[in-house]
Structure 1
Amino acid sequence: MLYGAKMAWRHLGSAPGQTALLVAGVAAAVFIFIFMSALIGGLAELLVNRTLGNQAHVTVAAPDRPLPLLVPAQGRHILAARQASTSPSLGLAAPRAWEATLAAFPGVRVIAPKLVGSGVLIRGEVTRPVTLTGLEPGRESAIIRFERSMVAGTAALAAGGVLIGETLARDLGLSVGRAVTFRADNGNSVTLTVSGIYRLGLGQLDEAAAFVPISAAQAVLERPGRVSAIELKLDDLYAAPAVAARIAAATGLDVTPWTETSAQLFEALRAQGNTGLILKVFAMITVVIGIASALMLTTFRRRGEIGIMRAFGATRRFILYVFVLEGALIGLAGGLAGALLAVAALSPFPPIEEVQPGQLPVDLGQGSIGLAIWLTTLGATLAALLPARAAARLDPVEAIQQ
């Protein structure tokens, strides 16, 4: 084996130009593989951050209440035994107990209750319809990342405070510290002080949403001790359908994964992943074809040398080993060179969270560097099998005569 390795190394060193060209070709293919992996992974992460970054992966709510159907009977109305329709639930009672239950499910990373209602914000004679959302103080940024989006004030919710979007603040002429009145659909009103102004880049949240402590929302909406939903973020957002199914089966609650509410986004991400896989496969095919072609040419040029080796007792297995090892060495060297080139070229790109418009969202962490080197070495080894078998089958007499 050691002698075979020396022979393979000597063969590669006897034609340094050809070997260097082979390694460079493999390195280029590996660089493309890593770059495409990093770019496609970065695009997916950017898309997720810009869309799902401020959304729950799974939403847990109380099921709608069934309504009885009134049917006429003998000139009067009675309640039918069957149910004809449903009405919205009053929300989840005892949210703390439900939070403890949900925390026990594997994969759940973040739990945040919320209470949602509607009404208008009033400042002087100016009113704007808004969705009022009550959040747990200390967990304001658990789902929506307010801490990264503040343009004024603080994301922390205090008693009597309200967070509003930049567009809504501009429409109402509000700034941090100014007072505004919220009037709920049930007629209740409360005066709030603007504690923070954010810009999320999401129209509905920037233009028509207000966030207050959940206790304030429960009071003005007359929902004491209740929440509209409990939102979850998972370790793996793509596991949302499976986690949602387990929670629904165990609790009987209405559980909705993001793959249902954002089905088009889910399909887009899946299509993007399939496209990336196809590009990677083509990159590997390029490596295999290139190495196989070059080694076939090497086999033809060294027919005489191979014949002499066979005449001196070299077995077919030995010849096969030498040529396969050459392919593996070329693949390994090219893989390492391509990986180093990719790291040097892609490291200066900013993290996905800091990508600005017009910049490529390249995430080197998703470049599959180790996989690229391993696949390249394996592909090069397999590519060397065909020329290696051809070399091992050479008749020594005919080879020497040529």
Structure 2
Amino acid sequence: MFPQRLPFEWIVALRFLREGRLQTLFIITGVAIGVAVIVFMSALMAGLQSNFIQRVLSTSAHIELLPPQQVSRPLQAGAQAASGVQVASIVQAPMQRVRSIDQWQAVAAQVQAMPQVLVVAPVAAGSALVVRGSATRALSLTGIVPASYFRIVNLSDKLVRGSTRLNGGDILIGTELAAELGVDVGDKLRLTAGTGASVATSTLTICGIVDLGNKGANLRGGFVALRTAQFLLGLPGGVSSLEMTVRDVYAAETVAQAITAATGVEANSWITTNAQFFTAVSAQTTANTAIRFFVGLSVAFGIASVLAVVVVQKSREIGILRAMGISRGQILRLFLLQGGVLALGGAVLGSGLGAAGLALWQRMAKNADGSALFPLVMDPMLFASALLLATVTGLLAAFAPARSAARLDPVVAIRG
């Protein structure tokens, strides 16, 4: 029995569903499986992409502002020989030396004022030679202001031992370089940078050892205070780049183009510098969308086919209802309600199955050290969108059978 307060269409729709229990069970199960696949795959892909992007951006900025490249120049102007033959100019590509961004403080303030930008950090980076006794190694030297740079690349989270304090005489090095040189926290290193008459040398104390998550970076990476790097690299008061983070990592290229247009300084986003990776992420997103589309399509056809069968089975009842004065609009709503109820019921069950599958995956998929393979976030919006999508799909799928039922001629339907 159904409550008397329910509208007529609801009472008849629920009665039709109850009478066709087996069909109702099958279609709800089918919808549930489809929604579970959508929820599970969407959460899995979102977690995988978030993990990839976090790994890529954990050691680099979203956008980097760089000084202009030095252009090629002719070593010999074109001239005409005595024989009348034109001699071509000799053009040589210049060596790119470390240069500072012109008026970088004003540029940094202008960029920081943009609403899309979160953090701007000045960086002085270049090559140096590190000496320890008779051992020498090439070093990729990065001069930073810890207060701002650590908000972009949090070296505190990568610290293995020691401290991340960076005074004028301190240096942070990678684990591989420390092993190669046989040094530890508190030991001294002599750094040399520059060429010719502009060679600068400084003796620094290792204040900490970090693991940057990459063997090459751990072998070549070194971090010092900004003023120390400026002295070693011959950049008094200058910086070689401005690094920044933005609110939306996927909009980094758009923001970079806006920064270039506003400041005239070259801005490279992580999307440009990691083009192949970003292409792979975009391909994953496209594949996930295609999976959801085809699963939703199969659900729609399943609901439509079941309701089409119901129209044939219940044609006599529909004819009687029409003869009793029920309008075509009510018949139309009756079948639309059936499609919506089937889809919503399957979506609720499927969301539960999807959540259970995600919890099982989180429990079973482990790294070698026993930690989770990557974090999965149970986003309530994902479940809400799955419920809404399934319900709308059910209503759309029910429209054709509902329209067919509403158009039945009562006399023909009663005669069978």
**Common topology (TM > 0.5):** yes
Distance 1:24 1:220 in 2: 69
Distance 1:242 1:108 in 2: 12
The alignment partner of 2:128 has SS state of strand
Alpha-carbon deviation of 1:102?
A: 0.7
1:258 to 260, 270, 285: 270
CA contact (8 A) 2:107 2:263 kept: no
Partner of 2:63: 58
The alignment partner of 2:107 has SS state of helix
CA contact (8 A) 2:141 2:221 kept: yes
Matches within 5 A, 1:351-362: 359=373, 362=376
Matches within 5 A, 1:95-174: 95-174=104-183
CA contact (8 A) 1:115 1:214 kept: yes
Distance 2:301 2:328 in 1: 24
Partner of 2:316: 304
Alpha-carbon deviation of 1:38?
A: 1.0
CA contact (8 A) 1:162 1:192 kept: yes
Alpha-carbon deviation of 1:378?
A: 0.7
Partner of 1:3: 8
Does 232-241 or 278-287 show the bigger shift?
A: 232-241
Cα–Cα, structure 1 residues 276 and 156, in superposed 2: closer, same or farther, change >3 Å?
A: farther
Deviations 1:232-254 (A, max 9, x none): 11111221222111111111112
1:335 to 337, 340, 347: 347
Deviations 1:183-218 (A, max 9, x none): 213432211122221212223311111001111111
Distance 2:361 2:176 in 1: 32
Deviations 1:335-366 (A, max 9, x none): 22222332343246669xx9778836644339
Partner of 2:86: none
Aligned length, in residue pairs: 395
Deviations 1:52-87 (A, max 9, x none): 33222211122134576454699xxxxx9x998685
TM-score, normalising length: structure 2: 0.86
Distance 2:354 2:381 in 1: 9
The alignment partner of 1:333 has SS state of helix
1:210 to 222, 229, 244: 222
Question: What do you get for the CA RMSD once the two structures are aligned?
Answer: 2.8
Matches within 5 A, 1:264-303: 264-303=276-315
Partner of 1:313: 325
Distance 1:329 1:219 in 2: 72
Identity of aligned residues (%): 35
The answer to whether structure 1 residue 42 and structure 2 residue 54 are counterparts is: no
Distance 1:130 1:162 in 2: 12
Partner of 1:381: 395
Does 194-203 or 365-374 show the bigger shift?
A: 365-374
Cα–Cα, structure 1 residues 50 and 133, in superposed 2: closer, same or farther, change >3 Å?
A: same
Matches within 5 A, 1:231-242: 231-242=243-254
Distance 1:300 1:104 in 2: 66
Cα–Cα, structure 1 residues 367 and 39, in superposed 2: closer, same or farther, change >3 Å?
A: farther
The answer to whether structure 1 residue 395 and structure 2 residue 404 are counterparts is: no
Distance 2:34 2:127 in 1: 56
Does 332-341 or 375-384 show the bigger shift?
A: 332-341
The alignment partner of 2:146 has SS state of coil
TM-score, normalising length: structure 1: 0.89
CA contact (8 A) 2:194 2:232 kept: no
Distance 1:401 1:269 in 2: 60
Alpha-carbon deviation of 1:155?
A: 2.9
The answer to whether structure 1 residue 16 and structure 2 residue 21 are counterparts is: yes
Distance 1:290 1:73 in 2: 77
- 1:309 maps to amino acid: L
